């Protein structure tokens, strides 16, 4: 086992580096509606996510997105993280940092932890900065698995903290 | 009408239950741009080592938020949530998101309720175990 690793010297040297920012398009009411419908399907979502009157009566006084809403799906207004890679490319993390990835075939979301700040409202523009926090490896059922921890910090157009995500990507 | 929560350690959250498959996953793929073969195609799921296509970890993540939101409603604000994605949500599974109150603490922000949260399959096997903290609002 000695010496067997997916982590190259280049990858190790990239730990701590940031990419970004990515900037979302303004969030719309219907972005929030569609998200809520999808995550509560087949039952209807809580009214405050789909109905303007119910949202207005809520403690927020209007629509807010479910906490886990993703304003970066499909397209973004500014993407300084882009490179010659796609969102589902297993080597995306490294390519965005300008280094070669491990070339593994499969990737899974290993888990995440999030601290929440200000909610996302219609009209909000969210900025994300991503930082490669660490790598580690573990032997698993499917071979040597590479765990990559990435930190994503989101702020809104008022520079208010929206959330911090620590994400674990498993590749094998 | 908001109802003031009076939680106690050991309280169980009302569960959030869904029978899962392509109906759920395709809708989620459509809002999260997550059209990945392992989530759409049984062959791709089997090639990745699972018995079928399987659902997104990010949808389990939403189910965990749903169970917490369903419990606290407007009386609480989710401060943090974490989970591991420990096993796959394969086709046809009944996924239940659950939670239990583990601690209640007074802080400068107010009363914070700590929860264990998880999703499980119909046999009670955990898919995405984690924890959350919720600030109780007056």
What is the structure's pLDDT at B3?
Answer: 65
DSSP SS3 for A41: coil
Of A87, A106, A116, the CB nearest to B80: A116
Domain extents in chain A: 1-27+75-172, 28-70
**B42, part of any domain:** yes
**B10, part of any domain:** no
Report whether pLDDT(B52) > 70. yes
- For residues A90-95, average pLDDT: 93
- Please write the tens of the pLDDT for every residue from B83-99: 999 999 999 999 999 99
H helical segments located in chain A: 9-14, 29-40, 52-57, 92-96
Question: Does A42 contact chain B (CB < 8 Å)?
Answer: yes
What is the structure's pLDDT at A1?
Answer: 46
Alpha carbon of B75 to those of A100, B21, B82: distances in Å?
Answer: 48, 32, 21
Of B24, B80, B84, the CB nearest to A114: B80
Chain B residue with the nearest C-alpha to that of A162: B79
Residues A2 and A24: their CA atoms lie apart, in Å, by 44
- Please write the tens of the pLDDT for every residue from A97-138: 999 999 999 888 888 999 999 999 999 999 999 999 999 999
**B114, part of any domain:** yes
**What percent of chain B has a predicted confidence (pLDDT) above 90?**
90
**B7, part of any domain:** no
What is the structure's pLDDT at B2?
Answer: 53
- Please write the tens of the pLDDT for every residue from B118-129: 999 999 999 999
A31 contacts: CB under 8 Å, gap ≥ 6: A65, A69, A71
Report whether pLDDT(A2) > 60. no
**B41, part of any domain:** yes
What is the structure's pLDDT at B1?
Answer: 46
Question: Does A116 contact chain B (CB < 8 Å)?
Answer: yes
Mean of the per-residue pLDDT values of chain A: 93
Rounded to two decimals, the pTM is 0.90
- CATH number where B96 lies: 3.10.129.10
Report whether pLDDT(A86) > 70. yes
**B73, part of any domain:** yes
List chain B residues with CB under 8 Å of A54: none
Residue A123 C-alpha from the chain's centroid:
20
* Domain span holding position B80: 16-136
Q: Strand locations in chain A, DSSP E? A: 18-23, 78-79, 107-116, 127-140, 143-155, 161-171
- For residues A18-30, average pLDDT: 94
Residues B32 and A65: their CA atoms lie apart, in Å, by 14
- Number of independent structural domains in chain B: 1
Torsion over CA: A149, A155, A160, A162 (sign): negative
Q: Out of 3.40.50.620, 3.90.1150.10, 3.40.47.10, 3.10.129.10, which CATH number does the structure's domain A1-27+75-172 have?
A: 3.10.129.10
Residues B102 and A94: their CA atoms lie apart, in Å, by 39
A152-155 long-range contacts, Cβ below 8 Å, gap at least 24?
A: A152/A128, A153/A128, A153/A129, A154/A126, A154/A127, A154/A128, A155/A126, A155/A127
Report whether pLDDT(A88) > 80. no
Residues A132 and A134: their CA atoms lie apart, in Å, by 6
Q: Which residues of A80-117 are buried (b: 16+ CB within 10 A; e: fewer)?
A: ebeeebeeeebbbbbbbbebebbebeebbbbbbbbebe
pLDDT class of B5 with cuts at 50, 70, 90: confident
What is the structure's pLDDT at A45?
Answer: 98
pLDDT class of A80 with cuts at 50, 70, 90: confident
10 Å CB burial of residue A43 (0-12, 13-18, 19+) is: exposed
What is the structure's pLDDT at B138?
Answer: 73
- Please write the tens of the pLDDT for every residue from B21-40: 999 999 999 999 999 999 99
- Give the distance from residue B11's alpha carbon to the nearest chain A alpha carbon, in angstroms: 23
Q: Interior CA angle at A71 toward A80 and B95, to 5°?
A: 125
């Amino acid at each position: 086992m000695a010496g067997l690793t997916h982590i190259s010297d280049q990858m190790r040297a990239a730990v701590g580096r940031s990419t970004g920012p990515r900037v979302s398009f303004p969030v719309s009411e219907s972005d929030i509606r569609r998200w809520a419908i999808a995550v509560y399907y087949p039952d209807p979502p809580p009214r405050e996510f789909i109905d303007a009157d119910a949202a207005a009566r809520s403690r927020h006084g209007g629509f807010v997105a479910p906490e886990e809403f993703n304003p970066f799906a499909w397209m973004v207004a500014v993407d300084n993280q882009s490179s010659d890679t796609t969102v589902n490319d297993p080597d995306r993390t490294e390519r965005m940092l300008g280094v070669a990835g491990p070339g593994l075939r499969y990737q899974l979301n290993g888990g995440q932890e999030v601290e929440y700040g200000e909610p996302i409202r219609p009209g909000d523009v969210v900025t994300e900065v991503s930082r490669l926090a660490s790598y580690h490896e573990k032997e698993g059922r499917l071979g040597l698995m590479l765990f990559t921890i990435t930190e994503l910090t989101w702020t809104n157009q008022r520079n208010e903290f929206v959330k911090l995500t620590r994400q674990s990507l498993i590749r094998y | 009408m908001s109802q003031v929560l009076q939680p106690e350690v050991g309280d169980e959250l009302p569960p959030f239950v869904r029978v899962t498959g392509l109906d759920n996953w395709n809708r989620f793929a459509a809002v999260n741009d997550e059209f990945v073969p392992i989530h759409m195609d049984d062959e791709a799921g089997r090639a990745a080592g699972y018995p079928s296509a399987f659902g997104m970890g990010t949808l389990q993540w939403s189910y965990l938020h749903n169970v917490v939101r369903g419990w606290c409603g407007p009386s609480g604000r989710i401060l943090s949530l974490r989970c591991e994605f420990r096993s796959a949500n394969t086709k046809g599974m009944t996924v239940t998101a659950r939670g239990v109150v583990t601690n209640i603490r007074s802080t400068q922000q107010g009363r914070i309720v700590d929860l264990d949260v998880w999703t499980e399959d119909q046999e009670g096997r955990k898919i995405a175990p984690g924890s959350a903290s919720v600030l109780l609002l007056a």
